[in-house]
Structure 1
Amino acid sequence: MTTEHDPIKRRKLSDEVQERLLAIIENDRLGPGDPLPSERDLMTAFGVGRPAIREAMQSLQRMGLVEIRHGERARIAEPSFGRMVEQMSDSMRHILSHSPASLAHLKEARATFEMEMARIAAQRASPADVARLRRTIDSQEAQRSNPANFLQFDARFHREIAAISGNPIFTSLSEGLLRWLQSFHVGLMRVQGLEKLTLAEHRQIVDEIEAGNVAGAAKAMSDHLYRANDLYHQDNLSRNDAG
């Protein structure tokens, strides 16, 4: 709580510019694709230099509100759940790198989310959806000797299950959760025999989805993810002991 005795904090010029740009967007009812005034016009209108304008624009770009292309005027960005998730990625990586508890919480959240995605997929999956999932598993199996590629197909498998929901928010959340955890899961792919077990579990999940077994699909997904978490934990313990 501030009082009349607290020192007045000086705001950066770019913060003031950003606030005024937001006002322009709101007052002029600018929508996706609409251009903002040129840098030169903004410099004249606000009485500031180019660095303050560019810093404010870059801040709005990080917020996902504007798009900046070289040689063109900045434009209002198309709304995107994927962009919103991407903007969180650096912060999430920082949190996960310095907080084991946060990583455990994220794993738990992901397992709960993926179980619900499996339930929904069991209710809504078409024969084409099931065929696509099986093709992804076959492609993943072909990459058993390449851990990086194997992991990419693993992520695709889970994204495709989320996409069956038809809800773009779920698809974006799946992308974000997988991206945030990916660097922590690379070691799992090097545990001997894990690839074969992962593929078998993926096929079991698809079998339950194809059968329309809502409870079975959720259980298969839960067993798969918590088994992976347990192996990851055991692998880390063994590495720490070896060190």
Structure 2
Amino acid sequence: MSKEGEQDRKIVRLKLSDQVFERLRELVASGELAPGDFVPSERTLMERFGVGRPAVREALQAMQSKGLITITHGGRSRVNALTAGVAFSQLDDIAKLLLSSEPANIEHLKVIRHILERGTARLAAAKCTSKDAADLTELIELQRAQLGDAEAFMKADIAFHTRLAEITGNPLIKAITEMMLTWLFEYHASLLLWSGREETTLSEHAVIVKCLKANDEDGTEHALEAHLSRADSKFSSANQT
């Protein structure tokens, strides 16, 4: 845009509710409103910012929609703890729209899964404790208990891979892994009608845990990659039937 064009652009005045939202967000970011704190009453906010009740209420609703606070009807609203899960949950609707509007993005997401989980496997193998391995083994048995219920079996699969990601000690990896797998499984609904390889999945999970328990980084990565490659062929077969 030319310099003259930039000068001619109209100045947009922010809505009062948007300004209140920004002020509240700043209070959270600065720590003045800490996780677990009660949000000041509507009347207090009206007096503090010099605005009416509609602007305050709209700003509070925006704060809740972004996961920053929880509004309790009949009670005091509280500030939420800011976690990776809260942050990435804001992408959920947009990500689902992106995947449903452009199917090729599912294949792109599967590529990202390979890259992320292979790296996760190496980090987890270096840090895996006997407690971590025991937890994963227990999750395999919980998944085995879901045989015959495809949807519950897939949710148990997500739990296994999420717990594996947790071993890295990186909350961002854990949050991204959980959301990524949730998106993938949701857009492979045809798998709910697919069966016959559940025992293979359980066996592959057991091999991954064996490598993790031995803190074998190369072995864990190779076992994870073999598992994902077989899962991709499963996806393809399911979609072709």
Bucket of the pairwise TM-score, normalised by the shorter protein: 0.7 to 0.9
Structure 1 CA distance for aligned equivalents of residues 168 and 9 of structure 2: 52
Letter in 1 for 2:151: A
Q: Is the 8 A contact 1:43 1:53 kept in 2?
A: yes
User: Are 2:200 and 1:191 equivalent residues in the alignment?
Assistant: no
Render the CA deviation track for 1:132-172: whole Å, top value 9, x for unaligned. Answer: 21222122122221111111211111111112223322222
Q: Retained in 2: the 8 A contact 1:188–1:194?
A: no
d(CA) in 2 for partners of 1:185, 1:219: 25
The 3-state SS of whatever aligns with 2:35 is coil
Instruction: Supply the RMSD in Å over aligned alpha carbons.
Output: 2.4
Note the residue ranges of structure 2 that are not aligned, 5 or more in a row. Answer: none
Note if 1:224 corresponds to 2:227: yes
By how many angstroms is 1:38 displaced? Answer: 1.6
Larger mean CA deviation between 61-70 and 98-107 belongs to: 61-70
Q: Give the Cα–Cα distance (whole angstroms) in 1 for the partners of residues 202 and 42 of structure 2.
A: 54
Structure 1 residues 155, 65: CA separation in 2 closer, same or farther (over 3 Å shift)? Answer: same
- In structure 2, the residue matched to 1:59 is 62
Identical aligned residues as a percent: 39
Q: Is the 8 A contact 2:114 2:225 kept in 1?
A: yes
Task: Check if 1:233 corresponds to 2:225.
Answer: no
Instruction: Give the Å deviation of 1:189.
Output: 4.9
1:6 is the counterpart of 2:6: no
Aligned length, in residue pairs: 238
TM-score normalised by structure 2 residue count: 0.86
> Secondary structure of the residue that 1:161 maps to in structure 2?
helix
Q: Secondary structure at the match of 2:223?
A: helix
Structure 1 pair 211–19 and aligned structure 2 pair: CA distance change class (3 A): closer
The 1:40–1:151 alpha-carbon spacing in structure 2 relative to 1, beyond 3 Å, is same
CA shift for structure 1 position 28: 7.9
Candidates 112, 124, 135, aligned match of 1:121: 124
SS at match of 1:4: helix
Amino acid at match of 1:99: E
Instruction: Give yes or no for contact 2:150–2:195 (8 Å, CA) kept in 1.
Output: no
Structure 1 unaligned blocks of 5 or more: none
Q: SS where residue 3 of structure 1 aligns?
A: helix
